[in-house]
């Protein structure tokens, strides 16, 4: 499991975001290395997921929040097809905007505002 928080600097969640970025890049590399041996690797890069920890850590529900069932469905559908998947239509649409279209400074500021709603340790 990875997180969209790892796609750019995330004020208030810096170490969490860094570990999620590492996991996604590691999965992509392993996917390419292990495919010839018939081993599939997938990074499921989720945004907000309605887990009990998310409910305790957040004081509001983020736009595009998905259920655990949606995450599982997306991951199983992507397995064997590609190295990375992003569950949820809104998150799939916003991920490239945050990563490629917005200036990095703006993307970091957006994540900082989103993290301002965290009241405890990051969910996940």
Token pair belonging to 91: 């998150």
Domains of the chain: 2-115 (3.40.50.720)
Q: Name the strand (E) or helix (H) holding 11.
A: none
Residue 117 CB-density burial (10 A; 0-12 exposed, 13-18 middle, 19+ buried)? middle
- Give the distance from CA 46 to its chain's centroid: 3
Structure tokens at 35: 């495919």
Residue 80 near residue 40 (C-beta atoms within 8 A): yes
Q: Give residue-wise pLDDT tens across range 86-112.
A: 999 988 888 777 777 777 788 778 777
Residues 122 and 20: beta-carbon distance below 8 Å: no
Structural tokens at position 30? 């392993």
Q: Which helix (DSSP H) or strand (DSSP E) does residue 74 occupy?
A: helix 68-78
pTM over 0.85: no
Render pLDDT for 17-71 as a digit per residue (tens, 0 to 9).
999 999 999 999 999 999 999 999 999 999 888 888 777 777 777 778 899 999 9
pLDDT at 35: 96
Residue 7 CA to residue 78 CA, distance in Å, equals 19
């Amino acid at each position: 499991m990875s997180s969209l928080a790892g796609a750019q600097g995330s004020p208030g969640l810096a170490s969490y975001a860094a570990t999620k970025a590492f996991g996604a890049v590691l999965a992509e590399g392993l996917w390419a290395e292990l495919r010839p041996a018939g081993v599939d690797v997938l990074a499921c890069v989720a945004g907000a997921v309605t887990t009990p920890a998310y409910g305790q850590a957040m004081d509001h529900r983020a736009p595009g929040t998905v259920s655990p069932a949606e995450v599982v469905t997306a991951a199983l559908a992507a397995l064997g097809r590609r190295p990375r998947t992003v569950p949820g239509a809104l998150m799939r649409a916003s991920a490239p905007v945050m990563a490629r279209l917005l200036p990095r400074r703006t993307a970091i500021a957006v994540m900082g505002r989103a993290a301002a709603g965290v009241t405890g340790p990051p969910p996940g």
